């Protein structure tokens, strides 16, 4: 499906599954997230990041509609909602962060997902960074989740989320994060056709140039 024809709806419509894209709905998990998650106000790994990943995974489900079962789409979206649940908002081994997310999912899994608990947890675990399994060796759903998780570097809110947000969590300066963008974004390898169409090479180059221009302005004496 051409990417220009794929548009995810509003957050409430995605949570309610108004279009009937996937099995069930996500309203119960959203209530759990709002009431129980302890990372919603983090500088980077916050509510916006979680919903950004959910939104993009929904968009990818639209793009690949017909290639996934409605059950597999649901597993992907649930994993997206939980992948950074209770992230501590500081730099520590990502394996520890993943274990908190897995623990939270096990605690709050609903009856309709008990039969797919292991599949959803596997998707969450495959977001651990640096990646423990090469992206080309994992299922398409997991590739989508990885691409969505990295894509905030391409978003309109990247300065607030990535530059200031990650700087705070990593105890670095925003200027240091700007300096890191050329290397990080330049080496970004999106795995899926959906992500490459959404974030083509020209978008990646433009984002690198934006970071460089901001550094030029900051360093202009």
Query: How much is the average pLDDT of 145-173?
Result: 94
* Contact (CB, 8 A) for 174 and 164: yes
Stretch 167-188: mean pLDDT, rounded?
Answer: 94
Task: Write down all domains in the chain, each with its CATH number in brackets.
Answer: 3-219 (1.10.1300.10)
What distance in Å separates the CA atoms of residue 75 and residue 185, rounded to the nearest whole number?
A: 28
Give the model's pLDDT for residue 139. Answer: 96
Tokens 């639209």 sit on residue: 62
pTM of the model: 0.94
Q: What is the CA radius of gyration of the chain?
A: 17
Residue 183, classed as helix, strand or coil, is helix
With 80 as the cut, is the pLDDT of residue 2 above it? no
The pLDDT of residue 220 is 86
Exposure b/e, 164-196, CB count within 10 A at least 16 = b: bbbbbbeeeebeebbebbeeebeebebbbebbe
Lookup: tokens for 170: 């990593």
| Phi, psi dihedrals of residue 65, rounded to the nearest 5° | -55, 130
Which spans in 64-116 are helix H? 70-82, 94-108
pLDDT of residue 73: 98
Question: What is the pLDDT, as a whole number, of residue 155?
Answer: 87
Q: Mean of the pLDDT values across residues 145-163? A: 93
């Amino acid at each position: 499906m051409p990417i220009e024809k794929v548009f995810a709806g509003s957050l409430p419509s995605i949570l309610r599954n108004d279009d009937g894209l996937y099995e069930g709905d996500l309203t119960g998990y959203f209530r759990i997230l709002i009431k129980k998650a302890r990372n919603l106000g983090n500088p980077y790994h916050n509510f916006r990041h979680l919903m950004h990943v959910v939104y993009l995974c929904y968009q990818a489900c639209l793009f690949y509609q017909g290639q996934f079962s409605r059950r597999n789409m649901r597993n992907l979206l649930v994993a997206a909602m939980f992948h950074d649940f209770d992230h501590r908002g500081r730099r520590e081994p990502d394996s520890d962060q993943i274990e908190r997310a897995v623990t939270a999912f096990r605690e709050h899994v609903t009856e309709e997902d008990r039969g797919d608990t292991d599949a959803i947890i596997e998707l969450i675990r495959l977001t651990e960074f640096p990646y423990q399994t090469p992206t080309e060796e994992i299922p398409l759903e997991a590739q989508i989740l990885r691409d969505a998780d990295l894509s905030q570097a391409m978003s309109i809110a990247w300065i607030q989320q990535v530059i200031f947000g990650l700087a705070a969590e990593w105890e670095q300066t925003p200027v240091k994060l700007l300096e890191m963008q050329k290397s990080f974004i330049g080496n970004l390898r999106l795995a899926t056709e959906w992500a490459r169409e959404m974030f083509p090479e020209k978008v990646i180059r433009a984002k690198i140039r934006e970071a460089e221009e901001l550094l030029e302005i900051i360093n202009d004496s």
